Amino acid sequence: MAAPLLEVQSVSKSFGKLQVINDLSFQVQRGEALGILGPNGAGKTTTFSLITGEHPVSAGRVFFQGADVTSLRPQQRCRLGIARTYQIPRPFSGMTVFENVLVGATYGRGQSERASRAFCRDILHETGLLARADMPAGQLRLLERKRLELARALATNPQILLLDETAGGLTEHEVHELLDVVRRIRERGVTILWIEHILHALTAIVDRLLLMDFGTKLLEGDPATVLASDELKMIYLGVD
């Protein structure tokens, strides 16, 4: 098998005395979609921050496309092709929706503004935000903010896209619309790593599931096996 696109190798993270991630290892193959499950506080979002470089690891290494990226800054990792969305959207509220996406395209993808315009338009179209393009991002509703998170990350032209509870807070209908968009992103060859509590959304997309708790991996495997596992029942239903 070829080298994995992303490899997290025995990574640990502590904030002071609090150990958030403890000796976590997993791999994501190119073109794959891996879902991450786990209760609140399991360390899922922190794992994302360690992959993007927002937080330095306390121990362990992160490899991307076979290269050690552990010491790279978030900006450098972004340009290599790692993009993420935030669970609580962080739009650039004083800028227009179009400008938000333009930031990703010009700085993340490294293109000039002129060369990026059509590309950004396509992304806004794909994520259903084109009608909102000239509106200040601060005026968007929750669903639109979530779409903007996605659009901005896509504009950096990522190899791997880290989605942090993108379906959370959406209506059933909106979740289905979102799934269509994520499927199209996958079809373009983008690898996906997705934290999500909405199981049916997750299983509609991912090839494998990773179950986390207390900052460590409990189980990893195909969705059916993980969902039927005793570990999952323990965590979510509290039964042995």
Partner 1 sequence: MIKARVAESPAGWKQLSVIQFTALGALVIGALVSLPFWGGPGVMRMLVEFLTLLALAQLWNLLAGYTGLVSIGQQAWIGIGGYALIVAADDLGLPIPLGLVLAGVAAALLALPAAGLLFRLRGGYFSVGTWVVAEILRLLVMNSTDWLRGGLGRTLTATSAMTRETRELLTYALAVVIGLGVIALVHLLMRSRTGLALTAIRDSETAAANLGIETQRIKLFVYLLCAFGTGVVGALIYLNLLRITPDAAFSVQWTAFMIFIVIIGGIGSIEGPIIGAILFFVLRQFLSDFGEWSLILLGAIAVVMMIFAPEGIWGIIRRRWQFEIFPVHRRVGASSGDAHERNAWQ
Considering the rule CB under 8 A, would residue 110 count as an interface residue with partner 1?
yes
Neighbours of 53 (CB within 10 A): 20
Considering the rule CB under 8 A, would residue 179 count as an interface residue with partner 1?
no
d(CA 205, CA 237): 24
Q: Considering only residues 130, 198, 199, 227, which one is a binding residue for partner 1 as defined by CB under 8 A?
A: 130
d(CA 222, CA 125): 33
Considering the rule CB under 8 A, would residue 124 count as an interface residue with partner 1?
yes
Helices then strands, each counted (H, E), the chain: 9, 10
d(CA 125, CA 133): 9
**Smallest distance, partner 1 to C-beta of residue 125, A:** 6
CA distances from 56 to 21, 67, 69, 70, 187 (A): 12, 17, 11, 8, 32
- Please tell me the count of residues contacting partner 1 according to CB under 8 A: 51
Interface with partner 1 in residues 216-235 (CB under 8 A): none
**Smallest distance, partner 1 to C-beta of residue 107, A:** 4
Residues 6+ apart with CB under 8 A from 16: none
Nearer to partner 1, 170 or 211 (CB): 170
d(CA 173, CA 143): 11
**Smallest distance, partner 1 to C-beta of residue 21, A:** 19
**Smallest distance, partner 1 to C-beta of residue 10, A:** 24
d(CA 189, CA 159): 8
Maximum CA extent, the chain: 59
Q: Are 162 and 133 in contact (CB under 8 A)?
A: no
Considering the rule CB under 8 A, would residue 215 count as an interface residue with partner 1?
no
Q: Tell me the three state secondary structure of residue 99.
A: helix
Considering the rule CB under 8 A, would residue 55 count as an interface residue with partner 1?
no
Nearer to partner 1, 37 or 175 (CB): 175
**Smallest distance, partner 1 to C-beta of residue 36, A:** 18
Nearer to partner 1, 50 or 211 (CB): 50
**Smallest distance, partner 1 to C-beta of residue 113, A:** 6
Q: Considering only residues 30, 79, 197, 208, which one is a binding residue for partner 1 as defined by CB under 8 A?
A: 79
Q: Rule CB under 8 A: which residues touch partner 1? A: 52, 54, 73-75, 78-79, 83-84, 86, 90-96, 98-100, 102-104, 106-110, 112-113, 117, 121, 124-128, 130-131, 133-136, 138-139, 147, 152, 155-156, 177, 181
